[in-house]
Chain A
Amino acid sequence: MSDTATMEQPTQDAGERQPVTKKEITADNPTWCPGCGDFSVLSIYYKLIQKRNIPHESVSTVAGIGCSSRFPYFVQAHGVHYIHGRALSFASGLSISRPDLHVFTFGGDGDAFSIGGNHFVHTARKNVKMTYLVMDNFVYGLTKKQTSPTSPLGFKSKTDNWGAFDQPINPMKLAISAGATFVARASHTNPKHLLEMMDAAMDHDGFSFIECLSECTEFFAGAFDSSNPRKGGEFKLMPEDHDPTDEAAAYALASEDFPGRFGIFYQIQRPTKNALEAGVIDAAQGKFEGKPDSEVLQATFNLMK
């Protein structure tokens, strides 16, 4: 913590190094099905790393379990493939203890809103510094077509042959009400817009959340056609006069019928968990004027004699 560089300081040798190439950041061949929306998210992630020229070693890619959570294997940087639903908690521990890293967490709708729903809410309210991108395909793909927490009403899956009837979660509304400070929506069919959103998310000092619609061609083909102009749909951006600090307006926009809007619904500045904890450390350490740890502990032990 105190012994690591802060985010603002460039790494020592970044200046001498050549810009990162796509080849350098590409790892294993993705195992996704042909046509999967996750491919375009991955290629935009490569683009983002190139555009921002982030050295590999300072990028941490964390994921849980699901098709999309295979992500870290395909990125040539420090990566973590954690357990189902808990990637945000893992990433929080990493982010708070290592402020010098860029922490990105990737996952799917099951990971984020079902098994990991509680962690999503609490990471948002704590405003832990990281970017969380959820590739939302409205279905459990890795386990072959069960109803997911975002499956629309009437979706016929192997666990709801007659059509899903549990009210789906609205990720934008959930994030806003949980206290997320950056809430945006994108789609794999519009990579340019996705890159803009990821860029803005990276610039945000806090918990930045992007829901990216990412089609599962195998188990829910055509799910997002109504948002895709190439399939006769409409990619509807936020109204030009939308004030992203207006929570009620953001909530109202998030309530529009599917396919809804794309862009930054909500963004405010609130101190991050990282900064608040660092403040506690500064205040506590200030009293000891740089004394070695053994003397600080000795002072406590002296009170226990």
Chain B
Amino acid sequence: MSETTVSEANNGSNSQPSNISEVTIRLAGNSQDGIQSIGGFLARLAGRSERDVMTMMTIPSTISGGASIFQVRLGSGEVISPGDKADVLFAFYQHSYDNHVNNLTKGGVLVYDSDHVEPCEEWLTKYRHIGIAISSLTVEAIGGTARDKGKNIFALGLIAGMFSLDTAKLERLINERFGSKSKSILKTAMDAFQAGCRYQSNDISNLFRLARGGAERSNQVVMSGNEAIGYGLIAAGVRFGAGYPITPWSDIMELLRRELPKYGGSFIQCEDEIASVSMAIGASYGGHVAVTGSSGPGISLKTEAIGWAVMAEIPLVVIDVQRGGPSTGLPTDVEQSDLNIALYGGHGDSPRVVLAASDVEDCFYTAIEAVNIARKYSVPVFVLSDQAIATRIEAFNEPDLKTICKNVELDLSPVPSHKPYDLSSGDGPSQHRAPGTRIEDGRYPVVTGLEHDEWGHPSGDAANHIAMTKKRRNKLKTLADELPAPEVYGADSGDVLLVGWGSTKGPLLEAVEELGNNGDALSALHIKHINPLPNGLDTIFSRFNSVYVIEMNDGGVYGYGQLAGVLRARFADARIKGINKTAARRWKVSEIIERVKARLEEEAATA
């Protein structure tokens, strides 16, 4: 076929298919090309078959136009990170080609749209180039009409052909995706897909042989981290929320606005972030734990109200989908730099709970845990997610919704008397009675941000302030006693322990595994409950010579990041050190390994 040009890379590539257990494919195009939907299809296919999948998406902050990439890692074992380098790069434009060639593995395959891309001499020898006239072949397949719509589905067909994916299942997925729209849209998509599948030039179907996994997995669901948080909140019984649009939090608010009415709930779009958090607190006071959320600057705006909820002891769930900061920062890039504001944002001593989700599946369960903690301890609970998990699509084992789902009925039964801030509850939480509850002794509660006595009436008394401050603090100590013991990956003692939180879990564990395979025994610890911390971390730390905290935030003036700062303050242990990254990109496995090795060498040299 004349549309195709091929170069053979000199370094070892040949016509023998490579047997691989997993493959990382990066698609680079523009944001309106719909390349994310390819990732969605592959993820759902993986969810319905024996393969595991993890995707990574970066989108530009511009609305349309501008570069966009999507990376999919398909594997037959457990895939825990989106992959460092791509084995296959699909470049739709010259800029996609120029900017992403460096992300290909040595000898990787570069599929480019020969209608738009002029390959570079230098790279022709390094990577196997396959030029396919993706744009014109798509136009030809779908009837030569519209602009270049449909080439994403054509590319999906190409991928299906390259890796012998289950085309019948993919067709069913295309049917489900487009079947509800017009017949012509479905036909166009199907034509484009089949043309891609049929495309056989240059033996592209013989390049790779992807190993089959074990038994067929039928009970998997596929969604993004933001979706998982939204559905987790619903499963936990949240029936009210309020928010304001901001990237990358907005997906959660759109989902809740659409879905909550099915469960008798509402999500209100407010005039600003402060109104959002206030409305959610108002609904929580009404008796149903409510949610608000945001990203970046939106979280800063909410802090005063969150401080009120701490003081008034009102339950609240705050979702923070972290992005690069400070200020407007990097709206569509990842960073873990909101830990400090989650822990300390606001004036005064205001203890609150902070949890961090590690992957898409964990987003679902962390949201549920946050709601349950807020309910039980009458306290605001932060859920830290980040841009990388928010938009990533993963397949995970289907939750047992029958046992998980909660819809807590409002209890308005009369009580003989009620102190909203009862000090006799010791270090346990006291519970509010929702408005509407008759209090038979006629003494009604006021919930307030002023320091108050047990009935909620203002008090500037020193002994009272001491007692109330202790009450708000010690209920978190009680919570700490309930938290699961942290688990060490790898040997439970040794030279170096790597500590991470949030979305660094995947690359962190993979780095430990890879180092282990090369004879460097390192261990890792992932912390999900950041405030309060689980008990027993000190004994774990004591079994290692060095503790490196891997974070996507700045090491600051003193050389350690935000979690490392917390751990140093908590344990007064100078062996806790930071390995930080502020590139606004997720940690790669190779990067962790390099940075850890470099640090060890540096320390050995100065020892």
- Give me the interface of A with B, judged by CB distance under 8 Å: 1-4, 13, 24, 27-28, 55-58, 60, 62, 72-73, 76-83, 86, 89-98, 100-101, 118-119, 121-122, 273, 277, 280-281, 283-285, 287-288, 292-294, 296-298, 300-301, 303-305
Pair A93/B436 contact, Cβ less than 8 Å? no
Pair B444/A93 contact, Cβ less than 8 Å? no
With A79-B444, A294-B401 given, is the CB distance from A283 to B261 under 8 Å?
yes
Pair A80/B447 contact, Cβ less than 8 Å? yes
Bound state CA distance, A121 and B272, in angstroms? 12
Contact for A56 among B282, B398, B444, B458, CB less than 8 A: B444
Bound state CA distance, A77 and B398, in angstroms? 46
With A101-B435, A293-B405 given, is the CB distance from A94 to B285 under 8 Å?
yes
Which chain A residues border B266 with CB–CB below 8 Å? 1, 96-97, 277, 280-281
Pair B47/A293 contact, Cβ less than 8 Å? no
Pair B282/A118 contact, Cβ less than 8 Å? no
Bound state CA distance, A284 and B257, in angstroms? 11
Bound state CA distance, A288 and B259, in angstroms? 12
Which chain B residues border A89 with CB–CB below 8 Å? 270, 274-276, 278-279, 282
Pair A97/B288 contact, Cβ less than 8 Å? yes
Contact for A97 among B240, B271, B308, B457, CB less than 8 A: B240
Which chain B residues border A81 with CB–CB below 8 Å? 446-450
Pair B222/A80 contact, Cβ less than 8 Å? no
Pair A79/B447 contact, Cβ less than 8 Å? yes
Bound state CA distance, A94 and B409, in angstroms? 16
Contacts of B171-196 to chain A: CB distance below 8 A: 176
Q: Which range holds the interface residue count of chain B?
A: 35 or more
Pair A285/B264 contact, Cβ less than 8 Å? yes
The reply on B231 being an interface residue by CB < 8 A is: yes
Contact with A along B244-283 (1 / 0, CB 8 A): 0000000000000001011111101011101110111111
With A90-B279, A93-B282, A122-B271 given, is the CB distance from A98 to B436 under 8 Å?
yes
With A56-B442, A294-B402, A297-B405 given, is the CB distance from A86 to B448 under 8 Å?
no
Which chain A residues border B458 with CB–CB below 8 Å? 73
Which chain A residues border B409 with CB–CB below 8 Å? 3
Bound state CA distance, A53 and B515, in angstroms? 74
Contact with A along B406-417 (1 / 0, CB 8 A): 010110100000
- List the 6 shortest-distance A-B pairs measured between CB atoms, nearest first: A93-B282, A89-B278, A93-B279, A284-B261, A294-B405, A78-B435
A-B contact pairs, 18 of them (CB 8 A): A1-B288, A4-B412, A57-B412, A72-B446, A77-B444, A79-B456, A81-B449, A92-B279, A94-B286, A96-B268, A98-B286, A101-B286, A281-B261, A293-B234, A294-B402, A301-B221, A304-B44, A304-B227
Which chain B residues border A304 with CB–CB below 8 Å? 44, 221-223, 227
The reply on B355 being an interface residue by CB < 8 A is: no
Pair B270/A122 contact, Cβ less than 8 Å? yes
Pair B274/A93 contact, Cβ less than 8 Å? no
Which chain A residues border B285 with CB–CB below 8 Å? 80, 90, 93-94
Closest B-chain residue to A122, C-beta based?
Answer: B271
Which chain A residues border B594 with CB–CB below 8 Å? none
Pair B281/A57 contact, Cβ less than 8 Å? no
Which chain A residues border B383 with CB–CB below 8 Å? none
Bound state CA distance, A22 and B47, in angstroms? 65
The reply on B561 being an interface residue by CB < 8 A is: no
Bound state CA distance, A300 and B255, in angstroms? 12
Pair A301/B446 contact, Cβ less than 8 Å? no
Pair B286/A93 contact, Cβ less than 8 Å? yes
Which chain B residues border A285 with CB–CB below 8 Å? 261-264
Bound state CA distance, A149 and B240, in angstroms? 33
Bound state CA distance, A77 and B435, in angstroms? 9
Distance (Å) between the CB of A237 and the closest chain B CB? 34
Distance (Å) between the CB of B568 and the closest chain A CB? 33
Closest A-chain residue to B405, C-beta based?
Answer: A294
The reply on B323 being an interface residue by CB < 8 A is: no
Pair B223/A94 contact, Cβ less than 8 Å? no
Pair A83/B234 contact, Cβ less than 8 Å? no
Bound state CA distance, A303 and B48, in angstroms? 12
Pair A24/B263 contact, Cβ less than 8 Å? no
Bound state CA distance, A100 and B412, in angstroms? 11
Pair A94/B283 contact, Cβ less than 8 Å? yes
Which chain A residues border B259 with CB–CB below 8 Å? 300
Which chain B residues border A72 with CB–CB below 8 Å? 446, 448
Pair B438/A305 contact, Cβ less than 8 Å? no
Contact for B305 among A24, A56, A83, CB less than 8 A: A83
The reply on B27 being an interface residue by CB < 8 A is: no
Which chain A residues border B281 with CB–CB below 8 Å? 82, 90, 93
The reply on B287 being an interface residue by CB < 8 A is: yes
Pair A300/B280 contact, Cβ less than 8 Å? no
The reply on B242 being an interface residue by CB < 8 A is: yes
Bound state CA distance, A91 and B447, in angstroms? 13
The reply on B304 being an interface residue by CB < 8 A is: yes
Contact with A along B424-439 (1 / 0, CB 8 A): 0000000000111111
Bound state CA distance, A93 and B266, in angstroms? 10
Pair A296/B263 contact, Cβ less than 8 Å? yes
With A56-B442, A76-B443, A294-B405 given, is the CB distance from A86 to B221 under 8 Å?
no
Known contacts A280-B266, A304-B44; 9 additional CB pairs below 8 A are A24-B442, A86-B278, A89-B279, A91-B282, A96-B268, A119-B274, A285-B261, A297-B405, A305-B48
The reply on B220 being an interface residue by CB < 8 A is: yes
Which chain A residues border B438 with CB–CB below 8 Å? 13, 55-57
Which chain B residues border A80 with CB–CB below 8 Å? 285, 446-448
Contact for A281 among B176, B264, B444, CB less than 8 A: B264
Closest A-chain residue to B47, C-beta based?
Answer: A305
Contact for B290 among A93, A121, A281, A300, CB less than 8 A: A93
Contact with A along B331-366 (1 / 0, CB 8 A): 000000000000000000000000000000000000
Closest B-chain residue to A57, C-beta based?
Answer: B438
Which chain A residues border B270 with CB–CB below 8 Å? 89, 122
Pair A82/B262 contact, Cβ less than 8 Å? no
Bound state CA distance, A162 and B280, in angstroms? 43
Bound state CA distance, A262 and B449, in angstroms? 35
Pair B444/A301 contact, Cβ less than 8 Å? no
Closest A-chain residue to B274, C-beta based?
Answer: A86
Which chain B residues border A82 with CB–CB below 8 Å? 278, 281, 308, 449
Distance (Å) between the CB of B257 and the closest chain A CB? 9
